[in-house]
Every structure is written in C-alpha cells, then in structure tokens.
Amino acid sequence: MKKVLLLSMMLFGVTSFAQNKNAKASLEVDGVCLMCKERIEKASIKTKGVKSAVWDVKTHELKLIFDERKTDLDTIIKNIVAVGHDTKELKATDEAYNSVHPCCKYRDEDVKKDHENETKTKN
C-alpha cells in the first residue's frame, strides 16, 4: 500500500509540473492595420493567463506568452475569432467579421490592396 501511495504522489508531482507558466507560442492571425493589431492583442490579453501578446501587421504573426495552468491555445484562438479575426485553425463567423471596422475587412481584396499601398508610400 505504501508503494502505491508513493507512486501516486510521484505521478501527481510530475503532472503538476508538466504545465509551463511561461509557455510561448506563435499563431498566424489575419488582419491589415493597427486597429486590427489593437483588437487582436486586446482579445488575447483579456484571456486569463495570457501574459504577453504582440501581433505584427506585416507578417500577421501573433507571439504569445501564457500560463498553461490557466489557459490554452484553443481558448486564446476562440477569443481572437470572437472579435472577428481568422486564424489558420479557426475562422471568425460572418457576424464577428462584420463587426470589425470597414478599414479592417482583411477578407476584402480592395482593402488589402489599400493597406499595401499605404505601407509602400510610407517607406
């Protein structure tokens, strides 16, 4: 009986340390502008356990640092999608997408071209 108790305590100890409190991840999130950046980062940060969220407008890469004991990537992705931004894993509903500002309509080719032209003229 002592062996079983000792073994179960050891297994519990290992599983409790298996989750990382400073896990890092990268996601591709669709968007086109600084308003998108603000919305994506805010949706991420509002997720309990997310410590850092930085989205790059040019690469569409969202870099995250989060506590795996409090949240997971699926939860973070669902919160991003809920504010209208697609990820490779999950697409925003039409209702959520339509709630974003007209200049943030990243599915619209004309909007994407307008934003590309803006960045070219700024450089």
Distance CA 88, CA 21 (A): 25
**DSSP classification of residue 24:** E
The DSSP line for 49-65 is TEEEEEE-TTT-EEEEE
Collect the ranges in the chain with pLDDT lower than 50.
Answer: 4-15
List of residues 6+ apart from 24 with CB closer than 8 A: 63, 64, 65
Domain 20-122 part of CATH 3.40.718.10: no
**Extents of the domains making up the chain:** 20-122
Distance CA 60, CA 51 (A): 19
pTM, to two decimals:
0.80
Q: What pLDDT is stored for residue 2 in this prediction?
A: 56
Q: What pLDDT is stored for residue 62 in this prediction?
A: 98
Q: What is the pLDDT of residues 64-99, one digit of tens each?
A: 999 999 999 999 999 999 999 999 999 999 999 999
Say if CB 33 and CB 45 are below 8 A apart. no
